[in-house]
Structure 1
Amino acid sequence: MKIKMIATDLDGTFLRDNHTYNHRLFKKVFRQLQKRGIRFVAASGSSYPRLKREFAPYVDQMGFVSQNGSVIHLGDKLIQDYPIDSRALARVMHVLDRYYGPRDINQLVVSGPIHSYVDQTMDDHNFKIVKTFYEDVHRVPDIRHIFASSPDEEFTKISINFANHVNLARVAATLDNFLPASLIIENSGFNTDLIGNAHGTKRNGLALLQDYFACAPSEIVTFGDNENDLGMLAMTAQSYAMQNAHQVIRMQAGHVTTADNNHDGVLKTIQQILKNN
């Protein structure tokens, strides 16, 4: 079966738990993909600057679906983004203030296509964690009024990392009742929920690149490990849940990798796919 595009989630999928990957093996696999004309796409809840850093030597030859599909790049070129209406953004902040206090939320991040923002009161420990996933991060006097203080800036995603005592299933149920219909909330793992434009999903982002490169669903391979990957995994029969993924995710994918994310599961699976094709 001909393959034209491979898309993979990062954290918990392509990357090890310590946020690294096998650079030597990836370089070898990437060369094989290029020889066969197969596009490689990184699809993540993280921001584009973080993805660009992770794949610095390959940026010009890759596609990027960042912020769970709210921002799509082809190399350095922005192909599409899905902004949040300022009134909807204000509504999210109001609901968060109503139901959750400082002890419930570790990190609250508001992002545009490139820049991300946190409140100046965020402690250094949490700020360092945010920098890992968003790279280009700035402190502002009051994150809850970022839309009012920056009326000309476009915002595409809100990330909320909740404390361990917060039940994420209840969070989703609560926010679903109050969020505008124009927004979607998705769990991104690590006790983190992402809120953004309802059109900004990994599935829609990958579908955009699919049209761009004229790929049929059967010509796409996808890898994921979490709830926010399900739409992408459902696009093609050539979908792989990671061995380390939750059973629910593994049951909904076409295949399960033999190796987990800490043992190069994605790269080894790609090698096997190329060998079989």
Structure 2
Amino acid sequence: MTIKLIATDLDGTFLRDDKTFDISRFNRLLDQMDHQNIKMVVATGNKVEQTLQYFKHAQTDRLTYISSNGAMVSDTKEVLYKRPVSKDQIKKVLDWNTQTRAKMENLIILSGIEAAYVSNHATPEMIQAVEQFYPKVIQVEKFLEVEDDILVMELIWPENANVKDFVKVLRQTFGEELHTTGSGFGSVSILAANTNKETGLAALSRIWQIKPEEMVAFGDNSNDLEMLRYVGNPFVMPNAEEFMKERISQQAHADNEHDGVLETIEKLLADQA
């Protein structure tokens, strides 16, 4: 089957641990992919603004971005697809948080298309920490009065908190209405139901008329699994944890520190030339 689309996760996959990659090599591959009519897609949990910073020395207008773990798909000109959390759902989570957080205070971030929103009660230190991940941060008095499409609700507890317990309770509380996932850094992300990197690729499949079996994807972690299982040619990184290698048998030709994604793409393009 001819390859028509290549998608890659960023952290632990395309990017080295210091958040860099071989820009010249990547731009050469983009030229070759253009020649072979192959789309290049970046699929990440990051907001698109943060993602663009990683590619500021590359040719960003030649890429398409699945950001916020699939809640939005865009290029540098327009939003192609979005899956926001409704205001009613936001209110339900805020009410749940009010009842729960008394045991341990947390920070709420509403990540929208235009900006990230935090409470007026957030301290300057909190704002500074949030700005490391969100280029534009706005303090608001009432979350429900924010006029923006909210892609992700972030609930951030101290790093020593066991967020797995919060994730479990949120999933029990909201069932299939919302998609809840956690990290090891005290953060819980809440998205619209059935939102992940696969749904972003499925949107592009409809828009571009590209079949899943004509797609390649690279990933290293559990939030990549839906995407990897969706495409016809999935690659897990050698540096991924063992549970990922058990689920996806095909590995990239090198780990993220040694440009494994670029190395593998080169071989795929050569085989298809």
TM over 0.5: yes
Deviation string for 1:61-112 (max 9, x for gaps)?
Answer: 221111111111133211121121112112212323333459664x532111
AA partner of residue 43 (structure 1): A
Counterpart selection for 1:216 from 211, 214, 217: 211
Superposition deviation, residue 180 in structure 1: 5.9
Alpha carbons of structure 1 residues 189 and 21: separation in structure 2 relative to 1, 3 Å? farther
| Counterpart check, 1:70 vs 2:65 | no
1:110 paired residue number: 110
AA partner of residue 5 (structure 1): L
2:171 paired residue number: 176
| Counterpart check, 1:146 vs 2:143 | yes
* Matched ranges for 1:56-67 at <5 A: 56=56, 57-67=58-68
CA–CA distance in structure 2, aligned partners of residues 69 and 256 of structure 1: 23
- Report the secondary structure of 2:10's partner residue: coil
CA–CA distance in structure 1, aligned partners of residues 105 and 20 of structure 2: 29
2:245 paired residue number: 250
Contact 1:226 1:246 (C-alpha < 8 Å) held by counterparts: yes
Question: What's the % identity of the aligned pairs?
Answer: 28
Instruction: Choose 157-166 or 208-217, whichever is displaced more.
Output: 157-166
- Report the secondary structure of 1:53's partner residue: helix
Deviation string for 1:157-186 (max 9, x for gaps)?
Answer: 112344332223322211111126321112
Deviation string for 1:176-223 (max 9, x for gaps)?
Answer: 111263211124665533211114321111111122222122210111
Instruction: Choose 31-40 or 172-181, whichever is displaced more.
Output: 172-181
Contact 2:64 2:75 (C-alpha < 8 Å) held by counterparts: yes
| Counterpart check, 1:83 vs 2:84 | yes
CA–CA distance in structure 2, aligned partners of residues 258 and 128 of structure 1: 39
* Matched ranges for 1:1-277 at <5 A: 1-56=1-56, 57-100=58-101, 105=106, 108-122=108-122, 127-141=127-141, 145-147=142-144, 149-150=145-146, 152-179=147-174, 181-187=176-182, 191-277=186-272
CA–CA distance in structure 2, aligned partners of residues 98 and 242 of structure 1: 41
- Report the secondary structure of 1:88's partner residue: helix
CA–CA distance in structure 1, aligned partners of residues 28 and 124 of structure 2: 38
Contact 2:154 2:190 (C-alpha < 8 Å) held by counterparts: yes
CA–CA distance in structure 1, aligned partners of residues 238 and 102 of structure 2: 36
Alpha carbons of structure 1 residues 66 and 188: separation in structure 2 relative to 1, 3 Å? farther
Normalization by structure 1: what TM-score?
0.87
- Report the secondary structure of 2:133's partner residue: helix
CA–CA distance in structure 1, aligned partners of residues 173 and 46 of structure 2: 25
Superposition deviation, residue 26 in structure 1: 1.4
- Report the secondary structure of 1:76's partner residue: coil
Alpha carbons of structure 1 residues 48 and 199: separation in structure 2 relative to 1, 3 Å? same
Alpha carbons of structure 1 residues 62 and 104: separation in structure 2 relative to 1, 3 Å? same
- Report the secondary structure of 1:133's partner residue: coil
Root-mean-square deviation (CA), in Å?
2.4
Contact 1:49 1:136 (C-alpha < 8 Å) held by counterparts: no
- Report the secondary structure of 1:245's partner residue: coil
Alpha carbons of structure 1 residues 36 and 46: separation in structure 2 relative to 1, 3 Å? same
CA–CA distance in structure 2, aligned partners of residues 272 and 23 of structure 1: 18
Superposition deviation, residue 251 in structure 1: 1.7
